[in-house]
Amino acid sequence: MECLEVYAWLQAYLDSGVTAEQERAVEAHIRACPYCRRKLVAMARVVNALERTSDISPRAEFTRRLYEALEKEAGHPLAPRPREPRR
Amino acid sequence: MPQSPEQDRMDLRLLERCRQGHLEAFGDLVSRYQSRIHTLAYRMLHSREEAEDVTQETFLNVYRALGTFQGERFSPWIYKIASNLCLDFLRRRRHSTVSLNAPIGPEGDIPREIADETQLPEDVALAGALGLDVQRAIDALPPKYRTVIVLRHIEDLTYEEIAEIMVLPLGTVKTRLFRAREILRVSLARSD
């Protein structure tokens, strides 16, 4: 199997989006091909870096400002308000 | 973790209560989604101020459209509103200024290579959450690729959910995701 052929499978392999048969083919190819193996490791590193992140809460006063805007839109209070996000 | 069917049902119950006039249920929807929407917007725009503007505008749009929503799941709907707002912000930015790290090329998919040693205070504060080099590499992605990367790997949505949110065929979502990861791989290898 050629590197070009395996390319799309290599990508899908990262998302567990390949069939068992494709998975075996990808694994056989990367065992034999250092070029694709390096590429897969580098892509996995990118995916890991992205997926290690946690949510970023808005700043503490955000919820108050959001509620002021929503209440202006509704024309009346929207109580009770949700908790302020953590800093 | 992708959202469970139980969480989807809870969203729809809250939405229904909002429509019946129990507006405190809207507060519950805000609590459930504000961090996720803010994270999406921050990763797309790399600006706290703009991310908060997008988050606020997203909830206002949801509130205005409460009566017209007819989907089976709330989550793709709110993500669609938020990601379209982010793309609007990026378009406006592109028209008003030329960003130093905006992508170039006829297809707009070649990241610029300009060393930028400056760090915003928020960069320093958030660097621990996602390496600054990775955020900068996301910033350099063309918007159509940035959206799929953030929805897939930061918001942890499936290909199918992204296709629904972006109104694209599944194959196009995969192609964009694969291309985006390839660009990130190359630009991060360069910054090593």
Per-residue pLDDT band at B128 (split at 50, 70, 90): very low
From CA B122, how far away is CA B126, in angstroms rounded? 6
Per-residue pLDDT band at B162 (split at 50, 70, 90): very high
By three-state DSSP, how is residue B104 classified?
A: strand
Task: Return the higher-pLDDT residue of B190 and A58.
Answer: A58
Q: Which of B1-15, B79-93, B117-131 has the highest mean pLDDT?
A: B79-93
Please, which residues have CB within 8 angstroms of residue B58's CB and are 6 or more apart in sequence? B37, B41, B78, B81, B82, B85
Task: Return the higher-pLDDT residue of B120 and B89.
Answer: B89
Residue type, B53: D
| CATH number assigned to the domain comprising residue B33 | 1.10.1740.10
A21 lies within 8 A of chain B by CB:
no
CB-count exposure of residue B125 (10 Å: 0-12, 13-18, 19+): exposed
Rounded to two decimals, what is the model's pTM? 0.82
Task: Return the higher-pLDDT residue of B126 and B63.
Answer: B63
Angle made by CA atoms B147, B172, A46, in degrees to the nearest 5 = 50
* H-type alpha helices, B46-73: 48-64
From CA A71, how far away is CA A20, in angstroms rounded? 54
A40, containing H or E segment: helix A34-51
pLDDT score for B114: 44
A81 lies within 8 A of chain B by CB:
yes
Largest CA-CA distance found in chain A, in angstroms, rounded:
67
Q: Chain-wide mean pLDDT for chain B?
A: 85
ipTM over 0.85: no
Per-residue pLDDT band at B64 (split at 50, 70, 90): very high
- Contact: A69, B60; criterion CB under 8 Å: yes
Distances (CA, A) of B156 to A53, B3, B27, B143: 11, 9, 24, 18
- Residue B129: pLDDT above 80? no
Q: Chain-wide mean pLDDT for chain A?
A: 83
By three-state DSSP, how is residue B110 classified?
A: strand
Q: Which of B150, B159, B182 to mutate to test the interface with A (most CBs of A within 10 A)?
A: B182
Per-residue pLDDT, averaged over A75-87, amounts to 61
Contact predicate B151/B162, CB 8 Å: yes
Which range marks the domain in which residue B138 is found? Answer: 5-191
- Contact: A49, B131; criterion CB under 8 Å: yes
Please, which residues have CB within 8 angstroms of residue B4's CB and are 6 or more apart in sequence? none
pLDDT score for B104: 55
* H-type alpha helices, B97-158: 121-126, 132-139, 143-149
A79 lies within 8 A of chain B by CB:
yes
Q: Per-residue pLDDT tens for A30-63?
A: 999 999 998 889 889 999 988 887 788 888 899 8
Residue type, B66: L
**Residue B15: both structure tokens together:** 């939405």
Q: Establish, for the pair of chains A and B, how many residue pairs have beta carbons separated by less than 8 Å.
A: 108
